A and B are shown apart, each in its own frame.
Chain A
């Protein structure tokens, strides 16, 4: 068993993912893959990359669901899924070797591959399915929140954000510190009704999802129509305004 930090740090870093805006383009997934396959947990191995049963290690996966009814009443929602860097991550406490750990400083959950024995207990413990076992290397891997990017002094400051956030074309992903109530992510969460994924787990995920906006529901076909201006037509049915108008170019 592995303990969580005694006293939480000053920062609680995480993501806000906007389900209203995500178009399901997978940019977060592949940009994450290209950063991280040469990053902290390199490589993100692919098996059968050019054969049948192709599969590999991904820290970010996008799922698409239809929900809410039939035909026009249903909605299509794109749901990007990655580690939520929980406050009480069972994937850490279940780890028999201490390989899985939550950083005291910023709350990021990482795997120390040097002491990971590949027992997969953490992946059983994670209700979100965010753990990724590298079959080739026999170790568990997971989202690092791009820890080798967000603090990297070799990169310009503007680039020190997770790859998935920097690349998202629809700006459906946001990165920041949830410990700061004035941070962009804290404000978005408050203003847009950000929610915890499956709060019943008690893991208290740090990262939040924003729900689709109410306006985004299919609208009812109310009998709204344009009024026809009466009494303003000539005998041919054309409008007198068109006949009388003296508009110059």
Chain B
């Protein structure tokens, strides 16, 4: 035999390594990009980066194929055929920007709200929202309204922050971890790494999810709950804990509003609000002085139960008493809820017992001296090592806001928020509850910026955005009575409302990275028709102008009139800003940049730079100097460095000041970007050990947060389990106050605006004939795809190139359906034909599929007969953006409080059908490849190594 061949063990891997930030999902890990001969050779995790610490997931590791995708757009495009056919001509950037400036300029002079500007998986919302405010339209939001606003809002209105970007489980100390309904494509690496750590220490993981894939598969216990009933399950846990007196009374007294006195005066305009002193401070009953006292004073010893007389003679009780009476009621007992939840009562009781044991008998103590908000020193930090994480499976229901509040309530009752082993905030959170910023848009005028940012936090009916006749100000009806706390807007309603002209017609829809004619919308077929529908009187499209920016030939491209092609993530500047969706750790704030690691080989521009250019053409005040010249002539990179939101505070918190030695607050540093590049494209700051826990009541942390501009003052942030803003909206619904809802909305508002978490049947389930639609239908997110982006990727689509309808083996057998059969799936909104795959790990009343695998034939430069188009499918066709009629009215399919899109309320029936040609239905005409794109290659021999294998033989 031959001797071993000599092989090169130390080939040159790269000519250069550049650091930047991943964009293969929303996780935003630090990456090192190896470049060889001008090509991207290898992308790996940055070991120093706070998010991923060197690891990189399946998506991030496929970035090369995303960067070189044959679906990349190459040049600005102007529509020349009918909408929906992708007939374009290529135009120069100057012409494209002039067209956009003309459309937007005309309406800014007359009625700026005729611009609806909605961005999708935008990671620059602090710029895009600010730009909308400078333009003067209240009609701005990103995709949060159809993603997880229920989580964000419930957290911000309850504990001052929420899951994921606002806080994280204490992966290093937790002994018991509950994870509810988590999408596997978000917060990708920290959850995987964290669960790895929990398993290595033998901590118990309980996964509450109707489907057992990914994270649920490695959990110690899978709770295969019936969709939309998580809130009831959590309230049963609370019932058990209260009945056994296993709640952290000390914690509730120190850190929450549970001792605050609530006025009990049924029928009065302030019933259910907090009793307050003349200065507006909430009152408690102080057991030491035996008097009413300011509940915020450190020295009071407040009563937690009892009935007390206010100065005016009326009665009040501590909020805790209301909470205890509610959840100790037998209607929340495990026996009472088990059937509805699809669980066993014994399992619920056992999980409650496990929570109590870990929280109260396996306590952690850290010998760290810290100072509380009142200046008192404590010699140790006590931890109750139960941690929780929840995401989209909780939020995408019409009862999601309350369910998320219930989870936070459970955490708080256990005393496990912001302690060692519990759930920990990531700075800049916690924020005051709710954050102080109100939505702007009560006033708007031609050629005038809004007085504030379009999105914010309402605390009562007076903050709603309503015209004097009561109609919504915003096109998506956010901050109207239909969605009073719509902190992220309702992107899923924009096209429907604009098409109907309800509440008014718009002129131009600008969207960025939002595939709203396909997987990002409900009622996909209907929305495609709305986008192409014309006003018979004028022959014009009902939505007259659509401008769209995307890097790729997504399904939405075909429906736009003007395409502004974006760069790939390796070709752009970006900032991952504390003003936006931060990437911090519990132990300290962090932010990051993207830098172009390769130059575009196409005529494309980063959307943020384009937006600034457009702003100059429109003469927007924030982006132009007094003489009309550009304030940021260097585009987005210039803005990132030189923009100041308030003096000393800009998009990046690190390396501020002339010499780059200041953090958080400091003058502009012209060399800031270089400082980031030199530091691996990120900045992070580590809190001192005495600042790391109880951040809402930790003096050293609160002072630091004020310095950094995270919060306005260092007062204690008192956790708001009993939510007064909720009660204010309810009082209005009961007829109190000047701001009154329409009559037909009163009952819904009264029922849903409860100041404590409640559970009610999801609206679609309530309104449809449950015998006709007996099953729940959901989507899950595969770990290897991010929305629709993944399946254009040459590597990822080999892992998952089509989806099926997954259902329980037992249920399928009952129904006479076998693995591989084709079925018709019908909802109140329509029907699809798909192929079934049976499995064990799914709630028997639930069917599900992978999200966004199905593609429109021809889109993304995939072959028209690609399996994504012919076998794959979208569940979206079945989900209506409108609920079935209730008393003759069809409301938005959204949470009544936040307007969160309720994707997971879907009910369906399935029937076996003949397979026919084994193609999923509906099918749509294939879209042609737009001008400029080359046919995708059939053989991919990507090799940036510069040393193709010797002796390779082509066959």
Stretch at the interface among A82-90, A150-158, A193-201: A150-158
- Does A231 touch B at the CB level, under 8 Å? no
Q: Are A25 and B784 in contact (CB under 8 A)?
A: yes
Closest partner residue, chain A, to B29 (CB atom)? A169
Are A169 and B951 closer than 8 Å at their CB atoms? Answer: no
Over the window 190-234 of chain B, the binary record of Cβ atoms lying under 8 Å from chain A Cβ atoms (1 yes, 0 no) is 001101110110101000000011111111111010000000000
Q: Is B941 an interface residue (CB 8 A)?
A: yes
B913 at the interface (CB under 8 A from A): no
In the complex the two chains form, what is the Cα distance from A50 to B801 in whole Å? 10
Interface with B: A123-131, A134-142, A179-187, which one? A134-142
Question: Which of chain A's residues have a CB closer than 8 A to the CB of B353?
Answer: 224-226
**Is B55 an interface residue, CB under 8 A from the partner?**
yes
**B808 at interface, CB cutoff 8 A:** yes
A51-B866, A52-B866, A218-B221 known; A31 vs B4 contact (CB < 8 Å): no
Is there an interface contact between A167 and B44, defined as CB atoms closer than 8 Å? Answer: yes
Compute how far the CA of A48 lies from the CA of B863 in the bound complex, rounded to whole angstroms: 9
Compute how far the CA of A227 lies from the CA of B947 in the bound complex, rounded to whole angstroms. Answer: 70
A121: Cβ under 8 A from any B Cβ = no
Whether a CB of chain A sits under 8 angstroms from the CB of B121 is no
A45 touches B9 (CB 8 A): no
Q: Is A119 an interface residue (CB 8 A)?
A: no
* B220 x A215 contact (CB < 8 A): yes
Contact: B795 with A138, CB < 8 Å? no
* B241 interface residue per 8 A CB criterion: yes
Knowing A54-B801, A113-B950, A167-B45, say if A221 contacts B249 (CB, 8 Å). no
Q: Which residue of B lies closest to A48 (CB)?
A: B938
Identify the closest chain A residue to B944 (Cβ): A38
Q: Mark B519-555, 1 if CB is under 8 A from A, else 0.
A: 0000000000000000000000000000000000000
CB contact between A249 and one of B44, B254, B952 (< 8 Å): that residue: B254
Shortest distance between the CB of A124 and any CB in chain B (Å)? 19
Please determine whether A216 and B218 come into contact, CB atoms closer than 8 angstroms. Answer: yes
Nearest Cβ on chain A to B935's Cβ, whole angstroms: 9
Q: Which residues of A contact B219 (CB under 8 A)?
A: 216
Nearest Cβ on chain B to A69's Cβ, whole angstroms: 7
User: For residue B47, which residues in chain A have a CB less than 8 angstroms away from its CB?
Assistant: 158
Distance between Cα atoms of A40 and B945 in the complex (Å): 9
Distance, CA A123 to CA B98, complexed state (A): 61
Assuming A72-B224, A137-B949, A238-B324, is B349 touching A226 (CB within 8 A)?
A: yes
With A54-B801, A215-B202, A227-B244 known as contacts, the answer to whether A241 contacts B249 (CB < 8 A) is yes
- State whether the Cβ of B844 lies closer than 8 Å to any Cβ in chain A: yes
- A-side contacts of B451, CB under 8 Å: none
Partner of A136, one of B7, B218, B939: B939
Tell whether, in the assembled complex, residue A38 and residue B240 are in contact, meaning their CB atoms are under 8 Å apart. Answer: no
Does A25 lie within 8 Å of B193, measured CB to CB?
no
| Contact between chains at A246 and B952 (CB < 8 Å) | no
Q: Closest CB of chain B to A159's CB: distance in Å?
A: 8
The answer to whether A247 touches B249 (Cβ under 8 A) is yes
- A248, B952: Cβ atoms closer than 8 Å: no
Stretch touching chain A among B298-306, B422-430, B678-686, B887-895: B298-306
Closest A residue to B838 using CB positions: A66
Contact between chains at B58 and A26 (CB < 8 Å): yes
Do A31 and B44 form a contact, CB below 8 Å, given A50-B863, A113-B949, A168-B55?
A: yes
Contacts of A227 in B (CB 8 A): 244
Q: How far is the CB of A91 from chain B (nearest CB, A)?
A: 14
Main SS at interface, chain A: loop
Query: What is the CA–CA distance of A51 and B870 in the complex, to the nearest angstrom?
Result: 11
Task: Give which listed residue, A70, A104, A223, contacts B810 with CB less than 8 A.
Answer: A70
**A241 contacts across to B, CB distance below 8 A:** 245, 249
Assess whether A3 is in contact with B795, with CB atoms less than 8 Å apart: no
Give Cα A23 to B199, complex, Å: 12
The answer on a CB contact under 8 Å between A30 and B62 is yes
CA of A49 to CA of B794 in the docked complex: distance in angstroms? 5
Does A98 touch B at the CB level, under 8 Å? Answer: yes
A64 to B214, CA, bound (A): 9
Chain A residue with Cβ nearest B300: A249
Interface centre among A34, A135, A222 (most CB of B within 10 A): A34
| Smallest Cβ-Cβ distance to A225: which chain B residue | B349
Cβ 8 A contact of B192, one of A25, A218, A226: A25
On chain B, the number of residues with a Cβ less than 8 Å from chain A's Cβ atoms is 135
Beta-carbon contact of B244 and A45 below 8 Å: no
Which residues between 917 and 955 of chain B lie within 8 Å of chain A, taking CB atoms? 936-955
User: In the assembled complex, which residues on chain A have CB atoms less than 8 Å from the CB atom of B36?
Assistant: 38
Residue ID in chain B nearest A62 by CB atoms: B799
**Contact call B193/A171, Cβ cutoff below 8 A:** yes
Interface-located stretch among B10-18, B133-141, B452-460, B641-649: B10-18
Chain B residues with CB under 8 A of A56: 794-795, 798, 940
Are A74 and B199 in touch, CB under 8 angstroms? no
A residues less than 8 Å from B942 (CB atoms): 37-38, 43, 46
Determine whether B297 belongs to the interface, using a CB cutoff of 8 Å to chain A. Answer: yes
Chain B residues whose CB sits within 8 angstroms of the CB of A51 once the complex forms: 862-863, 865-866, 936, 938
Inter-chain contacts of B7 with A (CB < 8 A): 40, 110, 147-148
Partner of A20, one of B58, B199, B213, B297: B199
* Chain B residues whose CB sits within 8 angstroms of the CB of A167 once the complex forms: 44-45, 55-57, 61
A21 and B801 contact, CB distance less than 8 A: no
A247 touches B253 (CB 8 A): yes
Instruction: Determine whether the beta carbon of B948 is less than 8 Å from that of A43.
Output: yes
Q: Hey, which chain B residues are within 8 Å of A114, CB to CB? A: 5, 950-951
Residues of B within 8 A of A163 (CB): 44
B321 interfacial contact with A, CB 8 Å: yes
| A219-B221 CB under 8 A given contacts A74-B841, A169-B55, A226-B353 | yes
Query: Judging by beta carbons under 8 Å apart, are B244 and A39 in contact?
Result: no
Q: Are the C-beta atoms of A50 and B948 separated by less than 8 Å?
A: no
A43 touches B941 (CB 8 A): yes
Q: How far is the CA of A212 from the CA of B257 in the complex (A)?
A: 44
Q: Which B residues lie within 8 Å of A54 (CB)?
A: 794, 797-798, 801, 866-867
Asked if A151 contacts B192 (CB within 8 A), the reply is no
- A80-106 interface with B by 8 A CB criterion: 98, 101, 103-104
* A3 closest partner in B (C-beta): B1
Of chain B, the residue at the smallest CB distance from A102 is B4
The answer to whether A190 has its CB under 8 Å from any CB of chain B is: no
How many whole Å from B269's CB to the nearest CB in chain A? 28
Complex-state Cα separation, A66 to B349, whole angstroms: 28
- The contact of B217 among A45, A70, A77, A168, by CB within 8 Å, is A77
Q: Does B588 contact A (CB under 8 A)?
A: no
With a CB–CB cut-off of 8 A, which chain A residues contact B300? 248-249
Cβ of B792: which chain A residues have Cβ within 8 Å of it? 50
Q: Known A31-B61, A137-B955; judge A50-B9 contact (CB<8 A).
A: no
Bound form: Cα–Cα A27–B62 in Å: 9
Interface check B468, CB cutoff 8 A: no
CA distance A135 to B954 in the complex (A): 9
8 A-B residue pairings within 8 Å (CB atoms): A23-B195, A42-B945, A45-B940, A74-B841, A163-B44, A170-B196, A171-B197, A248-B253
Return the 9 tightest CB-CB contacts between A and B, nearest first. Answer: A38-B945, A50-B936, A226-B244, A26-B58, A169-B192, A74-B840, A76-B217, A31-B61, A49-B794
Residues of B bordering A, CB below 8 Å: 1-2, 4-5, 7-13, 36, 41-45, 47, 52, 54-64, 70, 184, 188-189, 192-193, 195-197, 199-200, 202, 204, 212-222, 224, 240-241, 243-246, 249-250, 253-254, 287-288, 297-302, 304-306, 320-321, 324-325, 328, 344, 346-347, 349-350, 352-354, 356, 374, 783-784, 792, 794-799, 801, 808-810, 839-841, 844, 861-863, 865-867, 870, 936-955
6 more A-B contacts (CB under 8 A) besides A27-B55, A50-B937? A34-B62, A72-B224, A138-B954, A148-B8, A222-B346, A249-B299
> Chain A: residues with CB nearer than 8 A to chain B?
2-3, 20-27, 29-31, 33-35, 37-43, 45-52, 54-56, 58, 62, 64, 66, 69-78, 98, 101, 103-104, 110, 112-115, 118, 135-139, 147-149, 151-155, 158-159, 163, 166-172, 212-213, 215-216, 218-219, 221-229, 232, 237-239, 241-243, 245-249
